[in-house]
């Protein structure tokens, strides 16, 4: 009922809060929700908007489009990052560390596919949507913290784009010793539900991350943009196309929820947002259960082991 109510009867608020003087990073900013969120943020006065994209050519097209539509040339920059590659994420993180400031990061990039393949030793969706998205968040954490320390009147924010579909799957695999490794074995990979599954893992890990980083340093939140017109479902079948026609929000309307996450206050730290406001009771029963807590702790231990193997000392950024 909540899904249909939101889709038909709720329109997220049009963004009006200023981003003047701020540096904002948006991943997956060449298309869809990321593109439209970056457009809003540019329109709202950001000094520097970093479009983090895998496809640099498409990123340059997006940059030109945003700057033309907002009348703000020279604000956007296109930076390459491939979330399927640890090396690419690490190089991107080092580049971010050289910024004089970073006020907001919206980690929006994701993939949705039912085709099994691997990247960096894990099923690709798990690598992109979960492991390397959290890796990127940890790499840029020191720059977000330092920005807050230099500008104590401003709030630094790290926003993860998740989804209400996290509640549409079961996570019995959490009992395995290494759940992400277990589901990356093709014989255990339920690819028809892999995207919502990846979003469940992301929700759990973002909760754990927020529990370890004080909101007074960096506000860490996560948001559900709702069902929107975007490129994310381009591999989906005809039934999803029909659902889009009947139910989907426009890309611009959906992007408003990303901007809401990027402007939310301390009350959003560790919280789940939907329709542009905090709604933690909308988290799935599993996430809110004792089993969910145990799963979260196990996933964090596994993630820590993976990332320490890639970049020793990375967990000290928490």
pLDDT (average), residues 218-229 = 87
Query: CA geometry: angle at 274 spanning 269 and 277, to 5°?
Result: 60
Given pLDDT bands bounded at 50, 70 and 90, which one contains residue 52?
Answer: very high
- Whether residue 175 is predicted with pLDDT greater than 90 in this model: the reply is yes
Rounded percentage of the chain residues whose pLDDT exceeds 90 = 86
pLDDT band, residue 235 (cuts 50/70/90) = low
Confidence band of 250 (pLDDT split at 50, 70, 90): confident
Q: What's the average model confidence in pLDDT over 61-67?
A: 98
Say how far apart CA 268 and CA 127 lie, in whole Å: 26
Burial of 239 (0-12, 13-18, 19+ CB in 10 A): exposed
Q: Give pLDDT tens digits for 119-162.
A: 999 999 999 999 999 999 999 999 999 999 999 989 999 999 99
Judge contact between 165 and 227, C-beta under 8 A: no
Confidence of residue 17 (pLDDT cuts 50, 70, 90): very high
CA distance 145 to 140: 9
Predicted confidence at residue 236, as pLDDT, reads 53
Is this prediction's pTM over 0.85? yes
Give the mean pLDDT of 192-217.
97
End-to-end alpha-carbon separation of the chain, Å?
37
Sequential DSSP letters for 41-73 = HHHTTBSEEEEEES-HHHHHHHHHHHHHHHT-T
**Hey, what domains does the chain have and what are their CATH numbers?**
2-8+16-313 (3.40.50.720)
Average model confidence (pLDDT) across the chain: 93
Helices (H), 151-235: 179-183, 194-212
Cα torsion 297, 302, 304, 305: sign: positive
Active-site residue set: 195, 199
Mean pLDDT of 203-225: 97
Phi-psi region of 35 (alpha: psi -120 to 50; beta: other; left: phi over 0): alpha
Q: What is the pLDDT of residue 3?
A: 72
């Amino acid at each position: 009922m909540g899904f249909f109510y939101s889709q038909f009867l709720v329109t997220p608020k049009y963004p009006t809060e200023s981003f003047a003087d701020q540096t904002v990073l948006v991943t997956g900013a060449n298309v869809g929700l990321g593109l439209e969120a970056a457009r809003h943020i540019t329109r709202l006065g950001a000094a520097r908007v970093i479009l983090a994209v895998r496809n640099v050519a498409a990123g340059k097209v997006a940059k030109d489009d945003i700057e033309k539509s907002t009348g703000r040339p020279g604000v956007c920059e296109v930076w390459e990052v491939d979330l399927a590659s640890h090396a690419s994420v690490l190089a991107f993180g080092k580049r971010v560390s050289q910024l004089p400031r970073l006020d907001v990061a919206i980690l929006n990039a994701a993939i949705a596919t039912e085709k099994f393949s691997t990247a960096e030793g894990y099923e690709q969706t798990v690598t992109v949507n979960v492991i390397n998205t959290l890796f990127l968040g940890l790499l840029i954490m020191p720059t977000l913290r330092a920005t807050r320390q230099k500008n104590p009147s401003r709030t630094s924010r790290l926003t993860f784009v998740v989804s209400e579909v996290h509640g549409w799957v079961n996570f019995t695999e959490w009992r395995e010793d290494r759940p992400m490794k277990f589901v990356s074995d093709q014989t255990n990979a339920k690819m028809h539900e892999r995207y919502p599954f990846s979003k469940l893992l992301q929700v759990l890990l973002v909760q754990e991350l927020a529990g370890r980083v004080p909101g007074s340093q960096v506000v860490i939140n996560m948001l559900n943009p709702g069902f929107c017109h975007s490129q994310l479902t381009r591999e989906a079948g005809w039934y999803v196309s029909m659902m889009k026609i009947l139910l989907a929000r426009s890309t611009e309307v959906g992007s408003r929820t990303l901007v809401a996450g990027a402007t939310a206050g301390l009350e959003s730290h560790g919280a789940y947002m939907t329709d542009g406001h905090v709604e933690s009771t909308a988290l799935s029963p599993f996430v809110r259960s004792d089993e969910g807590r145990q799963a979260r702790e196990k996933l964090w231990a596994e993630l820590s082991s993976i990332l320490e193997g890639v970049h020793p000392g990375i967990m000290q950024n928490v």
